[in-house]
Amino acid sequence: MESSSRSFISMMRHPLKFRMYLLSKLPSAYFAGVRVKEIDEKKCVTAVPYKWFSRNPFRSTYFACLSMAAEMSTGALCLLHLYKRRPPVSMLVVKVESEYFKKAIGKTIFTCKDGDEIKKAIGESIATGEPKTARTESNGVNEKGDLIAKFYITWSFKPRSI
């Protein structure tokens, strides 16, 4: 594992640094309670609680809060592979698809295992100088392990001109 990856993972796992990052860059995720539970080069696990700020009128977690947690599980992996990268590479969500299977009435835990695909797309983008995409999958389960939702988030990567 590269030192920049270790450094990024350390920052994401640090409770105070991560919360300050969320508050400054993603305040809605901060207030909804989205948190990174686990991260390495291949996988990221996030969670969103069912609470006053994240609920909808139907007594379940609002789909936008589920989407935030799913996107964070994929986006954190993207950021990990781009952290201190030379040349710098920009990232952008270009498509979001979702399926819902069960009402989210408690904590929902999202897992993305697409770190290798993300790293490959970034590498191809740098090698060719052209934008490349990675379609990532994040599965959300409740605390019993029942599937709540699946999100497919397509990220685009493009080298920046220095």
Which CATH number is 121's domain given? 3.10.129.10
For residue 7, pLDDT over 90 is answered with: no
Which region among 84-88, 100-104, 116-120 has the lowest average model confidence (pLDDT)?
84-88
For residue 1, pLDDT over 60 is answered with: no
Q: Hunting for tokens 């060719």 — which residue is that? A: 128
Write down how long the chain is: 162
* Phi and psi at residue 148, to the nearest 5°: -100, -50
Residue-range definition of the domain harbouring residue 19: 3-159
Work out the average pLDDT over 33-47.
95
Model pLDDT, residue 155:
98
- Average pLDDT along the chain: 93
Work out the average pLDDT over 61-66.
94
DSSP 83: T
For residue 113, pLDDT over 80 is answered with: yes
Q: Side-chain half-sphere of 92: how many Cα atoms within 13 Å?
A: 8
* pLDDT band, very low/low/confident/very high, at 162 (cuts 50, 70, 90): low
Report the number of distinct structural domains present in the chain: 1
Between 1 and 137, the more confident residue is 137
For residue 107, pLDDT over 60 is answered with: yes
Given a contact cutoff of 8 angstroms between Cβ atoms, the answer to whether 149 and 116 are in contact is no
